[in-house]
Structure 1
Amino acid sequence: MKSKVRLVVAVIAAAMCPFVAKAQVDLGVKAGLSIPNLTSGNSSNPINSGWSSRLGLDAGLQAEFHLTKHFSIQPEVRYSSQGGKKDGTQGFTPSPEMAQYFQATGQPVPPYVYANYNNQAKFNYLMVPVLAKYHFGFSPKWDLYVAAGPFVSFLLSGKNVTDGKSSVYYDEALSKPLQGFPEVDFNRTTDIKNDLKKANWGISGQVGVAYHINSRSAVFIEGGGNYGFVKIQKDKVNGENNTGAGVVVLGYSYRIKDKK
């Protein structure tokens, strides 16, 4: 993965080289809240549905190259929390112990069984967006801007965190329990990184307001989001979900180079 990150950074740097010599350049740091969720258009798989937003960290570094008074290009490197949560009744693939139960009772192993418990999918990515940014420039001190562009991202970790105890059922209505099968303790953290695709790509965008402390320093607040176009699971039996998140961050930027 490190080689992929270096390749992406090298491509961005090469693309920006013609602009660096003439542009004003700001470096910035930002951090805040990621509010991710998992979405899917395929409702036939119960693992796809029922997800809601969880909370996580979004933080990163940015370099802004001012090409004109109003327009700039901004590559970023960001740590992005993704995933989602769902509590209550939900489907999942039978465990090996459950498969043995079905085989011992002469029943075919169903693709999914159901239980009542809490579930969080925690995915963390290294995200590399390249944004086109437009500044409205209302005053020397205040700046309203919008930015949008594509990103590539690389999976850093993927965990499934569950808790609760429940009987297991054949149906989502929880009306047909597995007779004789013991109550299941769901209190565990499972590493599922190897079940997920290592890279993603999509679109990122934000609206922000900056206050210029002086000619070089500024503080800003941004709200926006990102959406990945890749179905993140390797195997469809584990779901067919896209990542996405709303993001709110605070940041600071400093001009390291004025326009020639």
Structure 2
Amino acid sequence: MSERILVTGGTGTTGSRVARRLAEHGIAVAVATRRPSADHEVAFDWADPASAAAFDGVRAAYLVAPTDRTDHLALMRPILERAMAAGTRRFVLLSSSQLAPGGNMMGEIHAWLAENAPEWAVLRPSWFMQNFSTGPHGRTIREESAIYSATDTGRVGFVSADDIAAAAVAALTGERSLDGDAVLTGPEALSYDDVARLVSHLLSRPVRHVRLGTEDLVRRHMALGLPRSYAEALAQLDEVIRGGGEDRTTDQVLRLTGREPTSFRMFAEGSLSSW
């Protein structure tokens, strides 16, 4: 693909990694962000119809939905339709292992792309390892030596954002379009208790997993500034984990990238300075 690739959410956890990997491969990249500050960045907001201009001259795009609302199809569809009309052919959506096609949030976009996009892929990663370093659990590990969740003893195949980015680049640049979805996990499923024990061992100080009820977690998310609807949606994802819905691993990172996914221990050993 010779035309440039647009990376929405281009300064975020996965988007920044996708953009960097594409640039390292010598591919022209446009980083879409609400507040551009560099020549290769373009102003972009899914809520602004004028942002469709960011897709001009774009052959493929990495799609990251807004994180502060749940009506993703209604919000994103107008810009995606204009992007397709302008010639963008391949769309790679970042979704979630818990969101089935046709379900809520990114699941709506998943089903719509499958019906309408010339070329498409949906990456459905499990929970990010980086939630424990640069994300919300990282802060509580640093400040309180605690990890809060409503997952009880449920296990998760935590996946590194670096592996997600590598899979995204493969889906964006591969000779053939994936035209399907891929559930991305790390090599092992761990409970939050397991994570707390591992981090405690590496830090040589106790880090505890605080088991919350679902409504307690909703209130905690709202205290951090999230609207109730989104806080409830996130808390319900913890309920799925508690019920065993994330207790699995897959080989999709290996299939897409040609290398084994990062283990949680390897991630944690590289993240000690963040704690």
Give the TM-score of the pair, scaled to structure 2: 0.22
User: Is the helix fraction higher in 1 or 2?
Assistant: 2
Choose 1 or 2 for highest CA Rg.
Answer: 1
Give the TM-score of the pair, scaled to structure 1: 0.23
Pick 1 or 2: higher relative contact order, CA cutoff 8 A, min separation 6: 1
User: Is the strand fraction higher in 1 or 2?
Assistant: 1
